[in-house]
Amino acid sequence: MLNYKGYNATMATSNPTKVSFKAQMLLAREDAIIQSVNRLLAEKGFEAMTVDEVAADVGIAKASLYKHFPSKEDLAGAAMVSVMRRAQAFLDALPAQASAMEKLRSVVQWTLGLKLAGEMPSLPSQNSKLRTTLMGNKDYMDGLMDVSDRLGAWIEVAQAQGALNPKFPPIAVLYTLYARACDPVLEFLKMGELYSNDEIIALVLDTCFDGLSARGR
């Protein structure tokens, strides 16, 4: 197995009948903020997005927004937690009888669909302050490790079954699959207006898993 350190996230639950109206309104506002951040990060990226934009988009004062999320980095972290939870839910819903390779292809297909729909946050990989914030976000790290553990296990099974090239280190395959979440090829093909979204996803999916070499060389 890939040597990932596992985390067991403990999600606190409460009786919804005991949640005050004020608390419900605060949760609804946080959801609205996260949805706005997710969309703006997908459209503009982290560097171009501003806190003022988020506040204006949600329709609240910037001071009110800071009561929920004290920094731009925290906003991005909340958006990534939301994406990780969606990913975990998607993995949970995959058919148990599906093969490891089928599950991997389904995950990448789902990721490409999110990106084309403008629902995949775009974050810089070299921003040290953002990286520190994400690394310190327990919910995000719990989700990341859980998803990585599951994908890593499927990668190793698929390699053992001969469905994936065993010469590649599993960690390299994992990062290659994660990279599809920020693949610019999708936008390039969409701008060309030659293919539908489904056709674009199929093309990128095939190049990801089948490569570019001619078969039977």
* Region 68-97 average pLDDT: 93
- What pLDDT band is residue 17 in, cutting at 50, 70 and 90? low
Domain count of the fold of the chain = 1
Q: Looking up tokens 């990780």, which residue turns up?
A: 84
What are the phi and psi torsion angles at 186 (to 5°)?
A: -60, -50
Q: Is residue 84 part of a domain?
A: yes
Beta-carbon-side half-sphere exposure of residue 56 (alpha carbons within 13 Å): 6
- What pLDDT band is residue 84 in, cutting at 50, 70 and 90? very high
Predicted confidence at residue 18, as pLDDT, reads: 65
Question: Do 61 and 121 meet the contact criterion of CB atoms below 8 Å apart?
Answer: no
Predicted confidence at residue 215, as pLDDT, reads: 64
Q: Is residue 164 part of a domain?
A: yes
Question: Do 149 and 156 meet the contact criterion of CB atoms below 8 Å apart?
Answer: no
Range(s) of the domain holding residue 108: 72-210
The CATH number of whichever domain residue 184 belongs to comes to: 1.10.357
Q: Is residue 82 part of a domain?
A: yes
Predicted confidence at residue 45, as pLDDT, reads: 87
Q: Is residue 159 part of a domain?
A: yes
Please measure the distance between the N-terminal and C-terminal CA atoms of the chain and give it in whole angstroms.
Answer: 32
Q: Where does 117-184 have alpha helices with state H?
A: 128-135, 138-160, 170-179
* Region 81-110 average pLDDT: 96
CA distances from 95 to 88, 127, 170 (A): 14, 37, 23
Please choose, from the candidates 147, 42, 141, the residue with its C-alpha nearest in 3D space to the C-alpha of residue 103: 147
Whole-model pTM: value is 0.82
